[in-house]
Amino acid sequence: MIQITLPDGSVRSFEKDVTPYEVAVDISAGFARNVISAKFNDTVIETTTPLTTDGSLTLYTFRDDEGKKAFWHSSAHVLAQALEELYPGVKLWVGPAIDNGFYYDVDLGEEGTISEKDFKSIETKMIEIARGKHDFKMRDVSKAEALSYYKGKNEYKVDLIDNLEDGTISFCDHSTFTDLCRGGHIPNTGIIKAVKILSVAGAYYKGDEKNKQLTRVYGISFPKQKELTEYLELLEEAKKRDHRKLGKELELFTFSQRVGQGLPLWLPKGAALRERLENFLKAAQKKAGYEMVVTPHIGQKELYVTSGHYAKYGEDSFQPIATPSEGEEFLLKPMNCPHHCEIYNSKPFSYKELPKRYAEFGTVYRYEQSGELHGLTRVRGFTQDDAHIFCTPDQLDKEFKDVIDLVLYVFGSLGFENFTAQVSLRDPENLEKYIGSDENWQKAEEAILNAAKDKGLNYVVETGEAAFYGPKLDFMVKDALGRQWQLGTIQVDYNLPERFDLAYKGSDNEMHRPVMIHRAPFGSMERFIAILLEHTGGNFPLWLMPEQAIILSISEKYEKYAEKVLISLENDEIRALTDNRNETVGKKIREAEMQKFPFMIIVGEQEEKDNTITVRQHGGEDLGTISVEDFVKIVKERISKSLKTFK
């Protein structure tokens, strides 16, 4: 008998070679019908894999992230089989599950192409294969066998196998199809009931622009047609909320090929929006004891060599700028932290003067590949709401928790209420990716875990996701469409203080090394605004709107009264403008709705006579005819409910 431990801590005894599916049946026959994947002792396995030792077993349905991963990975195999049958001679590379669906990278040959008109035939073929209810079967193969299978037929798979160790290679078979695979599948293809091919794109082999460009086919699948229908409706809503579309309609930002790819240009309304966000955070930071600093956009190459950023970003970023002085080179700064370390180093500190909290809205530059650029979410120049706290080890816990409070204040003020925290630790199997001693990493990781626990955060731990210089706490926010984004980040760093030889004099009159906290509640202004745009659909919180009201005069006879109302609103610090065009009120209202104005103020003969205004809200609700003073009260009350003062 073997002992199987379930997630609730209970232990059940089974005969050796019991499968995860049989364990599921023992729990509940109804539950077993929905189980599609499993994990045993931290290894993803199939539901048909025999269990031979004691261990911990987790069973997954499609509702679980791991279940979706197995479902979509299996669907990628079905996609690959469909492509092989529809496009003879196609060469497969890789086909992983992604956050929403899956893709497969393929080489269609010199003449082969896939376009939108081909999507239906691919979907039909996939459903035809799925209906065969073919079992996914794993088998181990030797390296020689694997190479023999692909040699002369698929150089991409041969290259993959060349980099694998003998004894770690396996194939997955279903129907007439075989693929190189590590495992993690659903029981059979019949569980796949609904499929949609979403798009095709170019993808360089191994992500290297110097290599051949392959075709990447994206798809998604579900166990029920209803779920696919709901997802496609969500996609349509996402298209309406696309920040690139809304940014253009609301006249917030633009891009210019002459300026350069990935370098956004902020238009007046967008610049004003950014300024309000900056002022909002600056006010909170001031209360929290931060001091604003300003650093240049470039620095000597040696600065980033010292910090480790050159090794991390140098080869794949903007290249060094040579000066007339021989051997002198500068870099566009990839991060603000080295500059802030040098500010700290500009004078000696004692423990009585710590913590020092330096904040900056600093623009940094990284050369993202052109294929990875995407509106404001992936750019080459972006502004971080950066701050670095230099403190004693005894102050670390309080400072870290105070930053958590600041991040939560930012999220609450902007309507991001659905989020989880992610503690990112280094990968113990790949330590060469990181700088610093094991002792410092252990201290930093413990500090973050303790703070997350003490603040009662709903958090998960992700191994291998740490920054190269230290572990971090990231805030993963779900937007109105249920999509997850990484926004605020807090990081503990013992390494840069060593690299820059930072010090303070302790109470013992000895010199000590400070601890450094990196933090950015927004992350970057560009990405944050993009996510905020899509989350709100352009209907920002009232306090943040570029204009909070538009005054619509019924005819030119009431333009002077409209201007009088505008002045009254501006005197009460309400942002508004007038629309005195020779157009019908109906057209003005429709256009104001498109521009997302929170309030439309209509003025005509009766309003002028009674010294009132008629107010309509975005979305169609009428507030009736009221005085300007009452309207001001309504606006200020609504702002005060969403924008609390940071304490």
User: Mean pLDDT, 10 residues at a time, over the chain (647 residues)?
Assistant: 93 94 94 94 91 95 95 97 96 94 94 92 97 95 95 95 93 95 94 97 89 95 96 91 93 96 95 95 95 96 91 81 91 94 97 97 91 91 96 92 93 88 88 81 87 89 84 87 85 90 96 94 94 92 92 91 94 93 89 92 93 91 92 93 82
- Domain containing 41 equals 2-61
Please tell me what DSSP assigns to residue 126: H
Residue 337 among the catalytic residues: yes
Alpha-carbon span 472 to 425, nearest angstrom: 7
For residue 590, what pLDDT is reported?
92
Picking from 476, 508, 536, the residue at the C-terminal end of a domain is 536
Nearest to 118 by CA among 215, 190, 214, 204: 215
The confidence score (pLDDT) of residue 607 equals 92
**Do 473 and 387 share a domain, yes or no?**
yes
- pLDDT score recorded for residue 613: 95
Domain annotation covers residue 328? no
Give pTM, 2 decimals: 0.79
Task: Tell me how many domains the chain contains.
Answer: 4
Question: What is the spatial distance between Cα 600 and Cα 532, in angstroms, rounded to a whole number?
Answer: 23
Q: Are residues 231 and 264 in the same domain?
A: no
Q: Is residue 180 part of a domain?
A: yes
Helix H, strand E, coil C: the string for 256-272 is CCCCCCCCCEECHHHHH
Q: Is residue 553 located within the same domain as residue 463?
A: no
For position 433, what pLDDT does the model report?
Answer: 81
> Are residues 40 and 77 part of one domain?
no
Which of 333, 356, 388, 527 does the annotation list as catalytic? 388
Residue 103 φ then ψ, to 5°? -145, 165
Domain C-terminal end among 482, 508, 536: 536
Q: Confirm whether 245 is domain-assigned.
A: no
CA angle 505, 506, 510 (to 5 degrees): 70
Distance CA 146, CA 180 (A): 8
Read off φ and ψ for residue 197, nearest 5 degrees. -85, 125
**In this structure, what DSSP letter does residue 212 have?**
P
The pair of structure tokens assigned to 245 is: 């579309």
Q: Are residues 226 and 79 in the same domain?
A: yes
Q: Is residue 21 part of a domain?
A: yes
**Domain termination site, one of 485, 510, 536:** 536
What is the domain-level CATH number for residue 636?
A: 3.40.50.800
- Phi/psi region, residue 248 (left: phi>0; alpha: psi -120 to 50; beta: rest), is alpha
- Residue 385's domain is classified under what CATH number? 3.30.930.10
For residue 337, say whether it is annotated as part of any ligand binding site. yes
Same domain? 276 vs 381: yes
Tell me whether residue 309 is one of the annotated catalytic residues: no
Kindly state whether residues 39 and 162 are assigned to the same domain: no
Q: What is the pLDDT of residue 147?
A: 95
Please report the DSSP string for 135-189 in residue order. Answer: BPEEEE--HHHHHHHHTTT-HHHHHHHHTS-TTS-EEEEETTEEEE------SBG
Tell me the two tokens of residue 120.
Answer: 């239906």
Judge if 258 and 394 occupy the same domain.
Answer: yes
**Do 70 and 209 share a domain, yes or no?**
yes
Task: Answer yes or no: do 75 and 150 share one domain.
Answer: yes
Backbone angles phi, psi at 637, to 5 degrees: -65, -40
Q: Are 457 and 404 in contact (CB under 8 A)?
A: yes
Residue 3 DSSP one-character state: E
230 belongs to a structural domain? yes
So what's the pLDDT on residue 645? Answer: 82
Does the residue 311 lie in any domain?
A: no
Domain CATH for 128: 3.30.980.10
Beta bridge partners of 39: 44, 58
Q: CATH number of the domain that 45 lies in?
A: 3.10.20.30
**366 assigned to some structural domain:** yes
| H or E segment and range at residue 367 | none
Q: Are β-strands 194-204 and 213-222 bridged in parallel, bridged antiparallel, or unpaired?
A: antiparallel
270, 243 contact by CB (below 8 A): no
Catalytic pick among 172, 181, 337, 391: 337
- pLDDT value of position 202: 92
Q: Is 647 helix (H, G, I), strand (E, B) or coil?
A: coil
In the set 472, 519, 535, 596, the catalytic residue is 472
Per DSSP, the three-state class of 55 is strand
Residues 169 and 217 in one domain: yes
Distance CA 47, CA 63 (A): 16
Nearest Cα to Cα of residue 396 among 446, 353, 348:
446
Residue 231, H or E segment: helix 225-241
Q: Do residues 571 and 531 touch, judged by C-beta distance below 8 A?
A: no
297 is catalytic: no
pLDDT at residue 620, as a whole number: 77
Q: Tokens in use for 420? A: 């989880």
Same domain? 561 vs 595: yes
Which of 179, 386, 402, 474 is catalytic? The answer is 386
Residue matched to tokens 């073929």: 125
- Assess if residue 508 is contained within a domain: yes
